[in-house]
């Protein structure tokens, strides 16, 4: 499995000459011979960076969108392809997009490729996570989960408004497997100390192998993850390989 970050808030040291950054997230996921574009950032940045990194977006098999916010779906309006691509998203997100796609609109979990799951609406089960933004319940905010050959899962998130731990618990329930890696936006900006404590304790209890918080995770939260897990901060232009 290989994940190439096309858009993130910052640019990696190795790609600073050729890539640019913006507030948002977009990643190309290569999994079992298929290519999945997860989110498209806010503007054209994911397209520019894809070219700079030698990524041909024509080869994408599926587009999956985490939720309706413009820093995750804004770039889709600039999408061009000679083929009609499959697009998976929650109905609320689908209302915000236009274009020529083979749309799979679902609020339920969908195995859109073998061993690859769009989680749909996330149950709020963790008492320490609010699971909404203001009055918006953020029902459309979802994530992806991938079953690996060693019987564990990789979870990839966009913004985690439902709560990163809620997402992970649901991914475990859907797949029946333990966590191996959690990657993406964790929605931990200006987070209360108690929320950070509970989130870190959750991940410690899960004993996962890889954790990569990014995008909507601020410096105090990233610092805590570095202290507790020795994380590497990844940015646009970086790749994550999971054997």
pLDDT in tens, 154-211: 999 999 999 999 999 999 999 999 999 999 999 999 999 999 999 999 999 999 999 9
Name the token pair of 242. Answer: 């999971």
Domain carrying residue 235: 2-241
Residue positions counted in the chain: 243
CATH of the domain at 213: 3.60.15.10
Per-residue burial over 93-132, b if 16 or more Cβ lie within 10 Å, else e, is: bbebbeeebebeebeebbebbeebbbbbbbebebebbbbe
pLDDT confidence tier of residue 243, bands split at 50, 70 and 90: confident
Residue among 160, 183, 190, 194 nearest 229 (CA): 183
- Number of structural domains (the chain) is 1
Q: What are phi and psi of 45, to 5 degrees?
A: -55, -40
The predicted model gives 31-37 an average pLDDT of 98
Q: From the CB of residue 32, how many other CB atoms can be counted at a distance below 10 Å? A: 13
Q: Please tell me the predicted confidence (pLDDT) of residue 210.
A: 98
pLDDT confidence tier of residue 137, bands split at 50, 70 and 90: very high
């Amino acid at each position: 499995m290989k994940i190439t970050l096309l858009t993130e808030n910052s640019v990696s040291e190795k790609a600073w000459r050729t890539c640019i950054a913006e507030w948002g997230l977009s990643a190309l996921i290569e999994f079992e011979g298929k290519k999945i574009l997860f989110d498209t950032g806010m503007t054209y940045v994911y397209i520019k960076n894809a070219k700079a990194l030698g990524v041909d977006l024509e080869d994408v098999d599926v587009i999956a969108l985490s939720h309706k916010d413009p820093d995750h779906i804004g770039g889709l309006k600039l999408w061009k392809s000679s083929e009609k691509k499959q697009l998976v998203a929650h109905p609320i997100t689908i209302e915000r997009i236009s274009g020529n796609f083979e749309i799979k609109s679902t609020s339920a979990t969908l195995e859109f490729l073998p061993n690859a799951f769009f989680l749909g609406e996330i149950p709020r089960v963790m008492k320490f996570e609010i699971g909404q933004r203001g009055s918006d319940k953020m029902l459309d905010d979802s994530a992806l989960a991938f079953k690996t050959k060693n019987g564990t899962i990789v979870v990839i998130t966009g913004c985690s408004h439902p709560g990163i731990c809620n997402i992970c618990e649901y991914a475990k329930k859907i797949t029946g497997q333990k966590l191996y890696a959690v990657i993406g936006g964790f929605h931990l900006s200006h987070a209360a100390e108690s929320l950070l404590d509970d989130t870190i304790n959750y991940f410690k209890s899960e004993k996962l192998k890889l954790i990569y918080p990014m995008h909507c995770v601020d410096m105090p939260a990233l610092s805590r993850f570095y202290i507790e897990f020795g994380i590497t901060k990844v940015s646009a232009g970086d790749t994550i390989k999971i054997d």
